[in-house]
Amino acid sequence: MAARPPAWTACSAAAELARRGRLCDKPAMLHVNDLTYRLGARTLFDKATVAIPSGARVGFVARNGTGKTTLFRIIRGEVSPEGGSVMIGRGLRIGSVAQEAPGGQESLAEVVLAADTERAALLAEAETATDPHRIAEIQTRLVDIGAHSAPARAAAILHGLGFDSEAQERPCSSFSGGWRMRVALAAVLFAEPDLLLLDEPTNYLDLEGTLWLMDYLVRYPHTVLVISHDRDLLNQSVDWILHLDQAKLNLYRGGYDQFERQRTEQQALQLKLRKKQEDERRHLQAFVDRFRAKASKAKQAQSRVKRLEKMQTIAAIVDQDVLPFDFPSPERPLSPPIVAMEGASVGYGETTVLSRLSLSIADDDRIGLLGSNGNGKSTFAKLVAGRLAAMNGTVRRSSKLQVAYFAQHQLDELNPGATPYRHVADLMPDGTEAKVRARCARMGFSGSKADTPVSALSGGEKARLLMGLATFGGPHLLILDEPTNHLDIDSRSALMEANNDYGGAVILISHDRFLLEACADRLWLVANGSVKPFDDDLDAYRKFVLEGPDRPAARREDDRASAADTRREAAGKRVALAPLRKKIEALEAKMARFTELIARVDAVLGDPDTFQKEPLKASQLSAQRSDLERSLMAAEEEWLELSAEYETATGG
pLDDT digits (tens, 9 = 90+) for 489-535: 888 888 988 888 899 999 999 999 888 988 888 999 999 999 999 98
Closest residue by Cα to residue 255 from 265, 246, 242, 270: 242
Residues ≥6 apart with Cβ < 8 Å to 387: 405
**pLDDT tens digits, one per residue of 317-351:** 444 556 888 899 998 889 989 999 999 999 998 89
DSSP lists the bridge partners of residue 83 as 36
Predicted confidence (pLDDT) at residue 11 exceeds the cutoff of 60? no
- Helices 207-218 and 177-191, interaxial angle, to 10°? 10
- Phi, psi at 388, each rounded to 5°: -130, 140
Predicted confidence (pLDDT) at residue 308 exceeds the cutoff of 70? no
Predicted confidence (pLDDT) at residue 549 exceeds the cutoff of 70? no
DSSP lists the bridge partners of residue 508 as 368, 480
pLDDT at residue 19 in the model: 39
Predicted confidence (pLDDT) at residue 618 exceeds the cutoff of 80? no
- Which helix (DSSP H) or strand (DSSP E) does residue 405 occupy? strand 403-407
- B/e letters for 87-109, b = 16+ CB within 10 Å, e = fewer, are ebeeeeebbbbeeebbeeebbbb
Query: How many angstroms separate the CA atoms of 652 and 647, rounded?
Result: 5
Predicted confidence (pLDDT) at residue 13 exceeds the cutoff of 60? no
- The rounded percent of the chain whose pLDDT value lies above 70 is 84
pLDDT at residue 651 in the model: 60
Provide the pLDDT confidence category of residue 413 given band limits of 50, 70 and 90: confident
Residues ≥6 apart with Cβ < 8 Å to 314: 270, 273, 274, 277
The residue type at 154: A
Provide the pLDDT confidence category of residue 15 given band limits of 50, 70 and 90: very low
pLDDT at residue 223 in the model: 95
Query: How many angstroms separate the CA atoms of 550 and 165, rounded?
Result: 11
As a dihedral over the C-alpha atoms of residue 413, residue 419, residue 422, residue 425, rounded to 10 degrees, the angle is 90
Predicted confidence (pLDDT) at residue 25 exceeds the cutoff of 50? no
Predicted confidence (pLDDT) at residue 441 exceeds the cutoff of 80? yes
**Residue 317 neighbours by CB distance under 10 Å:** 13
pTM above 0.75?
A: no
Query: How many angstroms separate the CA atoms of 204 and 210, rounded?
Result: 9
pLDDT at residue 326 in the model: 87
Closest residue by Cα to residue 353 from 527, 516, 542, 197: 527
Sign of the Cα torsion 500, 502, 508, 510 reads: negative
DSSP state of 107: B
Predicted confidence (pLDDT) at residue 613 exceeds the cutoff of 90? no
**pLDDT tens digits, one per residue of 451-461:** 999 998 888 88
Predicted confidence (pLDDT) at residue 574 exceeds the cutoff of 70? no
**pLDDT tens digits, one per residue of 73-100:** 999 999 999 999 999 888 889 999 977 7
- What's the whole-number average pLDDT of the chain? 83
